[in-house]
Amino acid sequence: MVLSDIETPAAIVDLDRLEANLDRMARYTTRHGLALRPHVKTHKSVRVASAQVRLGAAGLTCATPRELETMSAVATDLLLAYPLLGRGKLSRAMALPADVRLTVSLDSPEAVMQLADAAASAGREVGVYVEIDVGMRRVGVTGVDDAIALIRQIERCKSLEYRGVAFYPGHIRERIADQEEGLARLRADLTRSLERLESAGCRPPVVSGGSTPTVWRSHEIAGVTEIRPGTYVYNDRGTAEIGACEWEDCAFTVLATVVSTAVPGQAVIDAGSKALGREPLRGVAGEGFGAPIDRPDAVVVRMSEEHGVLDVSGTSWRPRVGEQVRLVPNHVCVVVHLNDTMIGVRNDEVKETWPVDARGRGGAPPAGSLGKAAAKSG
Amino acid sequence: MVLSDIETPAAIVDLDRLEANLDRMARYTTRHGLALRPHVKTHKSVRVASAQVRLGAAGLTCATPRELETMSAVATDLLLAYPLLGRGKLSRAMALPADVRLTVSLDSPEAVMQLADAAASAGREVGVYVEIDVGMRRVGVTGVDDAIALIRQIERCKSLEYRGVAFYPGHIRERIADQEEGLARLRADLTRSLERLESAGCRPPVVSGGSTPTVWRSHEIAGVTEIRPGTYVYNDRGTAEIGACEWEDCAFTVLATVVSTAVPGQAVIDAGSKALGREPLRGVAGEGFGAPIDRPDAVVVRMSEEHGVLDVSGTSWRPRVGEQVRLVPNHVCVVVHLNDTMIGVRNDEVKETWPVDARGRGGAPPAGSLGKAAAKSG
């Protein structure tokens, strides 16, 4: 089966590029002595997570109960990089297989209390990373005093173990070459925070950091022991735009078909917001929503739910109705979440397909059906 | 079971409001003698489509093969308001139950050819609406001559039947009171086009129109015989903003939990772009992505995949970690597409749940499993 046999829109993964991306990150973290705990939110699949574990990942990072459940078939060391709140989510996490070493990152006394009670009732010990804000202003305690108070609270709980601190420098969105100022401030802030934690007797066993824009500079941030990159497996237009990958490293595309050329200067494809996502490029509007992998100058400038409008007016390309196009989306993580199946290709030939196992919110199918034979981490 | 028992994020439908919305549209179309062919893209569910058919819908409108397959269990008169291109999509549509009266809207000679061949091979007769552009510049032939040429081509094909013209005035996005100019131009354009079609011997049996912003003024557009509204079943922040519904008519909310209040002036909820969608309000950036149904002034101003940042700085509301919030999204159709299940409530009490049957792209489960017992339309 080749690409032209596939019904569109469809999610295509170039297997050579995927493997190269996985290798590159494994080599980078090994060289710099960083623990790699990849975030599965990007791929949500047992297939890709198993490869990450085989290549030496110390564990996996999840954001939802369903991701935890799915990934418990692949690795025993799981981080939920998200506060675990509410009876439903807590009970699902506490029902994970007994051999799962679970860690949760959080930033509030309420989250510590709820987690401690649930863990005690379940007879589990759960690890905690205290989330600290380093400037993104999303989650994370905004001062070291708050971090210390949370750590003291955690240490008082029999069912919890203080395992470290986590941060996410998602506010550094400049191109790699322009990150110097942001990184310098981050380094200074983090060093000061770690010193204060140390002198309060709260030295973090793990300092977990990393974001896609800054990921290849993680080794320059003193103190960091582990990173949690996600997007690197597939990459996307955003990652390429900031220079955290080359355009040729984009492993994921949405295969689409030109469905109309009735309006001059444009080609309408069958990938709209329900297939390509509607994420701005680097957080700014007006840069379009994706571009053909072989023609990055023809941008998807407008979208409806099932229509994407490619502006071809600035190019010599005049696609025909029925022609296929492969688009690199701005932000691959949200696009994977729109799909049930990934189609793996080499040189346009379909080699395998795999499910997006952790898409959705409900309970995952029993671990056995997800290929329990997959390699298990440490 | 009540709302506070539900794991978040979750898709909640207020059943009283849903029923009122369904009734209102049925009454409007009956009063004005318009055929109602609701677009199922908004709800993608047998449950809601069956109610639409019970209330007198003349048929249903779909955008994808999966929607067609799913809806063939509910109604026999189906419109695919999307060109049917490529072997995969064509063969799925041709495999619909024999009692389905299928119509496809399209705008190119290539689409006519592919459809004619597939219909002939399958031994089916398929109807065609010729899509005409009325100013949105998305799809649709841009001149009446092109429409006439397509109609002649359709009439030459034994397997096809010319059933009318379709248009979508999606460019009229002003608030209802400010639509006069756009509607006047639309009326004039449409009248001229219909006159030219008539004198060319191409009088359309059906003139199919309507878009959410203009839907309640459809009767003011001379010539229109049928409308295809979708969003009206649930409504959303966008629909309320343009005045096509009241805020109190919003039947759909995303139930979320406050997960962090560490950063002053904001509350972070567990509904980000993967639960709430990232659609601009009325197509403009900077208006946020959703708002609590009981506090429309506290807007979701930023989002990550699993985080929504509610700006509460301009309000006296100081939500606690663990508190639940119900958000009206900007654009409900893309949010439904992110979910597998809808939870129907009355006065915060859960009354029923139903699947988003036509979510996704692959083949739908066999019609029997979708409740074939549902009312069938004439």
> Residue B104, SS3?
strand
pLDDT at A186 over 80: yes
CA distance A113 to chain B (A): 11
Instruction: Identify whether A347 is part of a domain.
Output: no
Query: Cα separations (Å) of A37 from A29, A68, A342, B5, B309?
Result: 10, 13, 22, 32, 26
pLDDT at B265: 92
Look up the CATH number of the domain holding residue A191: 3.20.20.10
| Tokens 């086009």 found at | B193
Q: How does pLDDT run across B291-342, given as a tens digit for each residue?
A: 999 999 999 999 999 999 999 999 999 999 999 999 999 999 999 999 999 9
Instruction: Identify whether A350 is part of a domain.
Output: no
Interface test with B, best of A106, A136, A302, A305 (most B CBs within 10 A): A305
Residue in chain A nearest B285 by alpha carbon: A285
DSSP H helices, chain A, are 15-31, 46-54, 65-71, 87-94, 109-122, 144-156, 180-199, 237-242, 273-276, 332-336
CA-nearest of B271, B275, B280 to B335 is: B275
Instruction: Identify whether A299 is part of a domain.
Output: no
Share of chain B above pLDDT 70, in %: 96
pLDDT at A290: 97
Other C-beta atoms closer than 10 Å to the C-beta of B378 total 10
Share of chain B above pLDDT 90, in %: 86
Rounded distance between C-alpha atoms, residue A92 and residue A90, angstroms:
5
- DSSP class per residue in A232-286: GGT--HHHHHHTSS-GGG--EEEEEEEEE--STTEEEES--HHHH----BTTBTT
Listed by number, the residues of chain B in 229-268 with a beta carbon closer than 8 Å to a beta carbon of chain A are 257, 259-264, 266, 268
**Is A323:A257 a contact under the CB 8 Å cutoff?**
yes
> What average pLDDT does range A180-185 have in this prediction?
90
pLDDT at B284: 75
Rounded distance between C-alpha atoms, residue B6 and residue B256, angstroms:
10
Identify the domain containing residue A53 by its residue range.
15-234
Contacts of A141 in chain B (CB under 8 A): 262
> Two tokens at A99?
């051999």
A139 interfacial to chain B (CB closer than 8 Å)? yes
Q: How does pLDDT run across B14-43, given as a tens digit for each residue?
A: 999 999 999 999 999 999 999 999 999 999
CA-nearest of A20, A72, A66 to A41 is: A66
Instruction: Identify whether A184 is part of a domain.
Output: yes
> What average pLDDT does range B95-122 have in this prediction?
98
Task: Please indicate whether, in this complex, the C-beta atoms of B274 and A304 are within 8 angstroms of each other.
Answer: no
CA distance B84 to chain A (A): 8
Give the pLDDT band (50/70/90) at residue A365: very low
Task: Please indicate whether, in this complex, the C-beta atoms of B146 and A85 are within 8 angstroms of each other.
Answer: no
pLDDT at A374: 36
Rounded distance between C-alpha atoms, residue B324 and residue A89, angstroms:
14
> Residue A347, SS3?
coil
Largest CA distance in chain B: 69
Give the pLDDT band (50/70/90) at residue A369: very low
A74 interfacial to chain B (CB closer than 8 Å)? no
Sequence-distant (6+) residues with CB within 8 A of B217 are B176, B179, B183
> What does DSSP say about strands A308-311 and A300-303: parallel, antiparallel, or unpaired?
antiparallel
Instruction: For residue B205, say if its preceding peptide bond is cis, omega within 30 degrees of 0.
Output: no
Q: Is B198 exposed, middle or buried (0-12, 13-18, 19+ CB in 10 A)?
A: exposed
**Which of A138, A274, A285 comes nearest B268 by C-beta?**
A138
In chain B, the DSSP E strands lie at: 10-14, 35-36, 60-62, 77-80, 101-106, 126-131, 160-166, 206-209, 226-227, 252-260, 266-269, 290-292, 300-303, 308-311, 324-329, 341-346, 349-355
Q: How does pLDDT run across A238-255, given as a tens digit for each residue?
A: 999 999 999 999 999 999
Give the pLDDT band (50/70/90) at residue A170: confident
Instruction: Identify whether A360 is part of a domain.
Output: no
Share of chain A above pLDDT 70, in %: 96
Q: How does pLDDT run across A319-330, given as a tens digit for each residue?
A: 999 999 999 999
Instruction: Give the residue with greater pLDDT, A136 vs B372.
Output: A136
Contacts of A310 in chain B (CB under 8 A): none
Burial code (b: 16+ CB inside 10 Å, e: under 16) for B335-347 equals bbbbbeebbbbee
Weakest-pLDDT range from A48-62, A141-155, A270-284: A270-284
pLDDT at B377: 38
Task: Please indicate whether, in this complex, the C-beta atoms of B7 and A88 are within 8 angstroms of each other.
Answer: yes
> Two tokens at A72?
């418990």
> What average pLDDT does range B343-352 have in this prediction?
96
Instruction: Give the residue with greater pLDDT, B370 vs B198.
Output: B198
Which residue type is seen at A113? Answer: M
Average pLDDT over chain A, rounded to an integer: 93
**Which of B133, B307, B340 comes nearest A138 by C-beta?**
B307
CA-nearest of B95, B98, B45 to B65 is: B95
In B15-157, the DSSP E strands lie at: 35-36, 60-62, 77-80, 101-106, 126-131
**Is B135:B189 a contact under the CB 8 Å cutoff?**
yes
DSSP H helices, B64-106, are 65-71, 87-94
> What average pLDDT does range A137-151 have in this prediction?
94
pLDDT at B286: 82
A130 interfacial to chain B (CB closer than 8 Å)? no
- DSSP class per residue in B21-33: HHHHHHHHHHHTT
Nearest-5° Cα angle at B87, B83 to B92: 75
> Two tokens at A59?
């564990």
CA distance B275 to chain A (A): 9
How many structural domains are present in chain B? 1
| Tokens 């049917």 found at | B84
pLDDT at B210 over 90: no
Nearest-5° Cα angle at A340, A339 to A344: 85
Contacts of A89 in chain B (CB under 8 A): 7
Weakest-pLDDT range from B58-67, B118-127, B277-286, B317-326: B277-286
pLDDT at A358 over 70: yes
B101 interfacial to chain A (CB closer than 8 Å)? no
Contacts of B268 in chain A (CB under 8 A): 138-139
**Which of A5, A107, A280 comes nearest B260 by C-beta?**
A107
Q: How does pLDDT run across A201-223, given as a tens digit for each residue?
A: 999 999 999 788 889 999 999 99
**Which of A138, A337, A340 comes nearest B362 by C-beta?**
A340
Distance of CA A330 to the CA centre of its chain: 14
Query: Cα separations (Å) of B284 from A83, B34, B307?
Result: 32, 32, 21
Weakest-pLDDT range from A32-41, A151-160, B129-138: B129-138
Rounded distance between C-alpha atoms, residue B302 and residue A173, angstroms:
15
Contacts of A92 in chain B (CB under 8 A): 7
pLDDT at B135 over 60: yes
pLDDT at B370: 36
CA distance B374 to chain A (A): 26
Instruction: Identify whether A368 is part of a domain.
Output: no
Sequence-distant (6+) residues with CB within 8 A of A284 are none
Residue in chain A nearest B81 by alpha carbon: A306
Question: What's the pTM?
Answer: 0.94
> What average pLDDT does range A249-269 have in this prediction?
96
pLDDT at B88 over 60: yes
pLDDT at B251: 98
Contacts of A153 in chain B (CB under 8 A): none
**Is B245:B25 a contact under the CB 8 Å cutoff?**
no
CA distance A279 to chain B (A): 7
B369 interfacial to chain A (CB closer than 8 Å)? no
Give the pLDDT band (50/70/90) at residue B364: low
Rounded distance between C-alpha atoms, residue A135 and residue A139, angstroms:
10
pLDDT at B170: 83
Task: Please indicate whether, in this complex, the C-beta atoms of A85 and B322 are within 8 angstroms of each other.
Answer: yes
Average pLDDT over chain B, rounded to an integer: 93
Sign for the CA dihedral angle at A317, A5, B68, B360 comes to negative
pLDDT at A42: 98
> What average pLDDT does range A278-300 have in this prediction?
90
CA-nearest of B65, B37, B42 to B53 is: B37
> What average pLDDT does range B235-242 have in this prediction?
95
**Is A111:A97 a contact under the CB 8 Å cutoff?**
no
pLDDT at A145: 97
Give the pLDDT band (50/70/90) at residue A371: very low
Task: Please indicate whether, in this complex, the C-beta atoms of A270 and B82 are within 8 angstroms of each other.
Answer: yes
Instruction: Identify whether B253 is part of a domain.
Output: no
Give the pLDDT band (50/70/90) at residue A364: low
> Residue B102, SS3?
strand
Interface test with A, best of B61, B138, B257 (most A CBs within 10 A): B138
pLDDT at B167 over 50: yes
> Residue B124, SS3?
coil
Weakest-pLDDT range from A8-17, A338-347, B355-364: B355-364
